[in-house]
Structure 1
Amino acid sequence: MQISQMRQTIVLVVDGNEIDRLKLKRILEPRVQFCEVSFGSEVMSYLNEHHVDLLLLADKLPDTDGFDILRKVHGDVRYKDMPAIIVTDDLTQKMEAAVAMAGGFDIIRKPFVPIIVVKKVEQVLELEYLHRNLKEEVQRQTQLAEDRLAASERLFEQTVMALAKTIDAKDAYTRGHSQRVARYARHIAFKLGWLEEEQRRVYFMGLLHDIGKIGVPEYIINKTTRLNDEEYGKIQQHTVIGSQILDLVAEFPELAIGARSHHERYDGKGYPDGFAGSQIPVYARVIAVADAYDAMTSRRSYRDVLPQDVVRSEIAKGRGTQFDPQFADIMLQIIDEDEEYILHER
């Protein structure tokens, strides 16, 4: 700590002995801002009204025990880290133990040796200065890290959203499909009581579940008549293509799960792997219900939006065959709560 900084520090001496206070004042006043009180009962009110960097507290005071005052000071959350040196004429190890137990930083013994007094006060103030600055630097670095993380997450979300819009742009009739599926999937996860982080994960997986359609010819995606077997085979490949693309995102491996498995069926008759029941990753089972709901409630090249009662009937019919019963039940609950059939319009 520099001399100029030392002179700005405030030391409060608490001692009923006027001669000892005067001696300490002569030793310390050239180096610090010196303040003094005589009674323990004055300490808390003084601290409440003035800033203090260090307490020099006599072990014996006219009205109380110095250790009791120190415990009272440290018992107040505002002053729990206040450094304190006990001033005493007791040379025993018992006194040293008592100081440590009370939370004192060090001892200054009487009669005073000026150089020792100065060095001990300087040492405490130096350590306090370093501690305070280290704490501030840790807080600053923590805030910087949090800001960088928030910026990184925003960039990730914006990138994923841009990719989702690129995918949906290939089909004039399904604009916004990926965003809606992501929203429905997150809503199902919310209804299930999943943690916010899990809701966030299924949301991003929903946004990119159809990314593999980048590798499917547009004439197939936009075809208004029934697909032949070859064309249907190419459509099915979008799950594999999507998982291969998203396997490259090492920091978020679950993304590939949603892309690969959202067309698996609970009864094992889906694709590409023919998984059944719990073999299908749980996130993909949620996205499958959300995807089917959006497919029925959005306008397609070959039909208009289906009535809500028809959508509900199809979800109920697929319960336990196409869909995981638990997630189908949640989707049915969401449909029943949407009396005005406005969910699909958002």
Structure 2
Amino acid sequence: MTDILNVLASVLGILALIVYGPVAAIVVVIGAVSSQILVYRTRENVRENAKLRSRIASLEESLALSNLTFGAMVIEDLGRQDGYTHLHAAATAVYAADIAGELDLKPADVAKLRMAGLLHNIGMFGLPNELLRTSGNLNSIAKARIYEHPELGEKALASVPEFSEMSKWVRWHHERPDGRGYPDRLRAAWIPLEARILAVAQAYAAMVLDQPRRPGLDPPSAREEMNRGAGKQFDEVVVRAFLRILDTEAEGYRAADDHRFSFDILGAPPKSPPDKASDPDAAGNA
């Protein structure tokens, strides 16, 4: 391209010299040279901008990974307290990502849902330790505090720009199509699809995993619970998509106890202590 411009400038210079004289020829040549300098500088700016964008993208990715790692450490710490939260987070992440894939969401959205599943209960970190570690039935005041965790989770994630969209899904992962969920009592289409996916994923995970106050359900019983809740407690389309996945998977997947459900983002899962805590996600109702 540069060679073509040089030839064109030379031809124009010669024509200007023949037709209009030396002054015109000089003006044409200077204009051509200036144009080439401008083109060169523009190309350099484009290259520098591309490098800058690549650098910014790399920094943003590193920051998002750092924030995710920190969030996972919080979930891991909660798991050390109750022996359950980290397992529930890992199972929710797997189920949410698989449902998103079944519903043909974009790969980037599938990845975000996996992260949201892992961090959806991060708001529990803001609750008093004595409340998390209680093994008895919760009174109305304790339940009210537990029910704050979606809002606390939203606040925690919204403070990170990369997680701002995800924070809304976390806020609404206990909303229900029939409007009886919390914290905002949203109905049906007012609940984002991603939040509806999280609701199904976390509820099923809570059903099949052993909780501090009760053993997990067997997968067929959990499936029946999901069927009963379709259209009321859970989005029917999302439930159907999840049941299709369960039909094709082995028993370990249905029970959330094969290798895919280990909490390994930071290494080995934390050990379960003797004391157990109550679960806000029991059967998706809390």
TM-score in terms of structure 1 length: 0.61
CA 1:160–1:108: 2 relative to 1, 3 Å: farther
The number of residues matched between the two structures is 252
Q: Partner of 2:3 in structure 1?
A: 54
Give the deviation of 1:292 after TM superposition. Answer: 0.8
Partner AA of 1:234 in structure 2: R
Partners of 2:32 and 2:158 lie apart in 1 by: 61
Name the counterpart of 1:108.
14
- Mapped to 1, the partners of 2:162 and 2:58 lie a distance apart of 19
Q: Distance in 2 between matches of 1:203 and 1:216?
A: 24
Which amino acid letter does the alignment assign opposite residue 3 of structure 2?
A: L
Give the letter aligned to residue 178 of structure 2.
Answer: D
Q: Which structure has greater strand proportion?
A: 1
Rounded to whole Å, the distance in 2 between the matches of 1:225 and 1:250 is: 38
Deviations 1:217-251 (A, max 9, x none): 33443444433434333322323333344454466
Q: What is the aligned counterpart of 1:279 among 179, 183, 190?
A: 190
The corresponding residue for 2:110 is 199
CA distance in 2, matches of 1:125, 1:249: 45
Deviation at 1:205, TM superposition (A): 2.8
Identity of aligned residues (%): 29
Describe the shift of the 1:120–1:308 C-alpha distance in structure 2 as closer, same or farther (beyond 3 A): same
Deviation, 1:320, is 1.4
Change (3 A) 1:149 1:252: closer
Residue by residue, what CA displacement relative to the aligned partner does 1:268-323 show, whole Å, maximum 9, x if unpaired?
33333333323334322211101111112222223444322122111112111211
Question: CA distance change for structure 1 residues 53 and 233 in 2, over 3 Å: closer, same or farther?
Answer: closer
Q: Secondary structure at the match of 1:342?
A: helix
Q: Which runs of 5+ in 1 are unaligned?
A: 1-51, 56-81, 89-105
Conserved 8 A contact 2:175-2:181: yes
Structure 2 residue ranges without an equivalent (≥5): 261-286
Distance 1:83 1:248, change over 3 A: same
**2:263 aligns to what?**
none
2:178, 2:87 → 1: CA distance?
Answer: 29
1:175 is aligned to 2:86: yes
Distance 1:174 1:230 in 2: 21
In terms of fraction of residues, the more helix-rich structure is: 2
Q: Looking at both structures, which has the greater relative contact order when contacts are Cα pairs under 8 Å and sequence separation is at least 6?
A: 2
Task: Indicate the SS of the match to 2:66.
Answer: helix
Larger Rg: 1
TM-score w.r.t. length of structure 2: 0.72
Structural RMSD (CA): 3.3
Look up the match of 1:154.
65
Q: CA offsets, 1:72-108, max 9 Å, x none?
A: xxxxxxxxxx6432655xxxxxxxxxxxxxxxxx442
